[in-house]
Amino acid sequence: MVEKYIFGSPFETEAVTAEMEAAEFTGKVICGEILLENGFCYRCQMDDTDVIYGLGEANRGINKRGYKYVSNCTDDPHHTEEKTSLYGAHNFIIISGKKHVGLFFDYPANLCFDIGYTRQDMLTVSCERADLYLYVITGESAYDVAKQFRKIIGKSYIAPKYAFGYGQSRWGYKTHEDIETVVRGYRDNRIPIDMVYMDIDYMQDYKDFTVNPERFPDFPQFVQKMKAKQIHLIPIIDAGVKIEEGYDIYEEGVEKGYFCKREDGSDFVAAVWPGWTHFPDVLNPDARAWFGGKYKILTDVGIDGFWNDMNEPAIFYSEEGIKALNQAIVDYVREFDSNQGNIKADSDTSEDVMNNAKAVPWEVRSCIDKLQNSPEDYERFYHNVKGKKVRHDFVHNLYGFNMTRAAGEALQKIAPDKKMLLFSRSSYIGMHRYGGIWTGDNQSWWSHILLNLKMMPSLNMCGFLYTGADLGGFGSDTTRDLVLRWLALGVFTPLMRNHTALGTREQECYQFEHVEDFRHVIGVRYRLIPYLYSEYLKAVENDAMYFRPLGFDYPDDRRAVETEDQLMLGNEVMIAPVYTQNVSGRTVYLPEEMKFVKFMPDGKIYEEILNRGTHYIEVALNEVPLFIRKGKCIPVVDVAENVDAIDMDTVRYLGYDGAEYEIME
């Protein structure tokens, strides 16, 4: 059962698509109380054994208990354990214990979840303004609650089948030659691949919807050339539009009034990759249609997939921020001068003052640090929502959602019968109807394989099925074994993309020794695509979860509930990737008898029935393990070098004798 409550005057986020009458609020909602004296606060006592699921793209465990989280879409590339906000805001949790209760706080600004952090038995969810919708869902199990939630937020986006292929990316590919080198590297080594991603350097001066003509002298022809090699090029689109006289998108946006504005009506200016930019006001439907329409510039030349970035929106600094910094420097040095008399501060510009100073004082440095993604900047600009001025920080978490919605709505118009690849960095629930997400700038750390795994089911609860992380790690130098182990998880994530940052070690699979190991691991992905894509389509169709915590399938088995390094996949499979360095295997918990399957490097498949309980499984760096549930089977095909080349005549079934499976396409 789903109940909807209205508090104050909520902003219409359009996260929920189901129409429903609001219930009368009588002071309490199931298992908790609501305090409205000081903003909004939901409070509920947790039993010792209650598990708290949800929050989508969030840090830490599958069970969110024992920490605090803040929904505040943030461009932060350091996903360390203490971080409370990442790029998405997914305000849905499930309290699962004696009762199973889902709560969706439809509120697009900062929202704090204290899940047993202040008091280990207390859950509090609070925000500054009591203007929100609260949806309360009761069900017979955590999974039942998640499915009911998915039903009210509308069907998830469906990615094209080619998007289940493998993709290579790197921030630093600049020219068509760079891309051709990558394609050659994969094809010559017979490592399957379907996509190469184009990061910001393909653009002319980082201007959205432009292509640098020197780096790509005949871009339409290049797209076709890649198509002929079965390679889809996937360009990045950033939120900020460069301010530059003569750049049509900038000029049109200014003329039509489609950029976010300051209070005085002037266009807000923020620095991102292109330098000074304006942000398209994607919360305004007209501006959204206008910006979305620009994707056609690229689809017209054959592009059929995009990744939307920097759409929290990320701000390196604003004009106001720079002015404030200037002032801070002048003030600091003046004070220093008057106290110590050893620095001349007879100038009014920070530049002169800094020339006199011996080193950047920490007071000034901390001002510089605060320039980026500063909360003050998010209070400095406004959206035009149906003629009403809405300050950005009130709706901050909706920007990435609506940028991707701009693209999604436009792509549906541009090619109504064609599925296009679309995913975003920032998101809010509701965006799952338009595209997928990737989990942003992780690091080449072993702990981030596990973080990747734990985020997947939480994202599925919130509707995001087409998801994945930067395999091999984005920041810092990777290692061969880390890439291989991470790929062996990536074999199962709908988005399987190897991506890394500028300046890091080369991370394409063919850069490492024993390239055949990479060929094999990625080959396993292609052998499984008919199964994985079927399970993905079924999950969309049935508002089900492609990835689930073990506790969703075995709620009465406490050991299963507490297992956070294995996942259920689709209706037939359990996965248990290796995520530590220098080991030859791992311990796995089987909540019931299953068939242990290992894809061996010689192409053979190892199969062994294992009983319920704990097992140590040996998994070499070049093997891919999975488990098939009792009585089930999955289809496997022969390896193909790209998705189009998969030969369905080679299908055979792996698992328990007598089981049947229906492939969906």
Binding residues for ligand GLC (CB under 6 A): 171, 199-200, 236, 309, 425, 440-441, 499
Contacts for 643-650: CB closer than 8 Å, 24+ residues apart = 643/161, 643/162, 643/164, 643/165, 643/194, 643/230, 643/526, 643/529, 644/162, 644/230, 645/230, 646/526, 646/529, 646/530, 648/530
- Give CA–CA dist 371/188, Å, rounded: 46
What does residue 272 show for φ and ψ, rounded to 5 degrees?
A: -135, -155
Angle, CA of 600, 601 and 604, to the nearest 5°: 45
**Residue closer to ligand GLC, measured from CB, 50 or 238:** 238
Q: Which residue is nearest to ligand GLC (CB)?
A: 171
CB of 501 to ligand GLC, least distance (A): 6
Query: Vertex 303, ends 297 and 306: CA angle to 5°?
Result: 90
**Closer residue to ligand GLC in complex, CB, 309/508:** 309
Residue type at 573 in one-letter notation? V
- Min dist. Cβ of residue 524 to ligand GLC (A): 26
Q: How far is the CB of 404 from ligand GLC (least distance, A)?
A: 14
Contacts of 104 (CB under 8 A, 6+ apart): 15, 16, 91, 92, 133, 134, 135, 137, 149, 429
Spatial neighbors of 258 by CB under 8 A, at least 6 apart, are 252, 280, 281, 284, 286, 287, 290, 291
Comparison of 200 and 626: residue with beta carbon closer to ligand GLC: 200
Nearest by Cα to 374 from 298, 323, 340: 323
Q: Which two tokens stand for residue 491?
A: 């074999």
Closest CA to 248 of 284, 293, 286, 308: 293
Instruction: Work out how close the CB of 209 gets to ligand GLC at its nearest, in angstroms, rounded to a whole number.
Output: 15
Residue 495 or residue 636: which is nearer to ligand GLC going by CB? 495
Q: Which is nearer to ligand GLC, 64 or 425 (CB)?
A: 425
Angle at 187 between CA 665 and CA 215, to 5 degrees: 100
Is the bond leading into 375 cis (omega within 30 degrees of zero)? no
Q: Shortest distance, CB of residue 139 to ligand GLC, whole angstroms?
A: 36
Query: Closest by alpha carbon to 322, among 264, 368, 362, 261?
Result: 368
What is the closest distance, in whole angstroms, from the C-beta atom of residue 397 to ligand GLC in the complex?
A: 17
The distance of closest approach from Cβ of residue 167 to ligand GLC in the complex, given in angstroms and rounded to an integer, is 12
Contact 426, 73 (CB under 8 A): yes
Residue 87 Cβ vs ligand GLC, minimum distance, rounded to whole Å: 8
Instruction: Identify each DSSP E strand in 214-304 by its residue range.
Output: 232-238, 241-242, 270-272, 275-278
d(CA 170, CA 35): 48
Q: How far is the CB of 200 from ligand GLC (least distance, A)?
A: 4
Whichever of 77 and 213 has its CB closer to ligand GLC, that residue is 77
Q: How far is the CB of 401 from ligand GLC (least distance, A)?
A: 17
Question: Rounded to the nearest whole angstrom, what is the least distance from the CB of residue 308 to ligand GLC in the complex?
Answer: 10
- Looking at the Cβ atoms of 199 and 572, the one nearer to ligand GLC is 199
Q: Which is nearer to ligand GLC, 107 or 206 (CB)?
A: 206
Instruction: Report helix, strand or coil for 162.
Output: helix
Q: Which are the contacts of 163, defined by CB distance < 8 A and separation ≥ 6?
A: 194, 195, 305, 421, 466, 494, 495
- Tell the smallest beta-carbon distance from residue 444 to ligand GLC (Å): 14
Q: In residues, how long is the chain?
A: 665
Q: Which is nearer to ligand GLC, 96 or 311 (CB)?
A: 311
CB of 199 or CB of 393, closer to ligand GLC? 199
3-state secondary structure of 549: coil
The residue among 168 and 622 lying less far from ligand GLC, judged by its C-beta, is 168
- Give the nearer residue to ligand GLC in terms of CB position, either 87 or 332: 87
| Nearest to ligand GLC of 309, 393 (CB atom) | 309
Q: Report how far residue 614's alpha carbon sits from residue 563's, in angstroms, rounded to the nearest whole number.
A: 11
Residue with tokens 């950029």: 259
Please report how close the Cβ of residue 54 comes to ligand GLC at its closest, in angstroms: 24
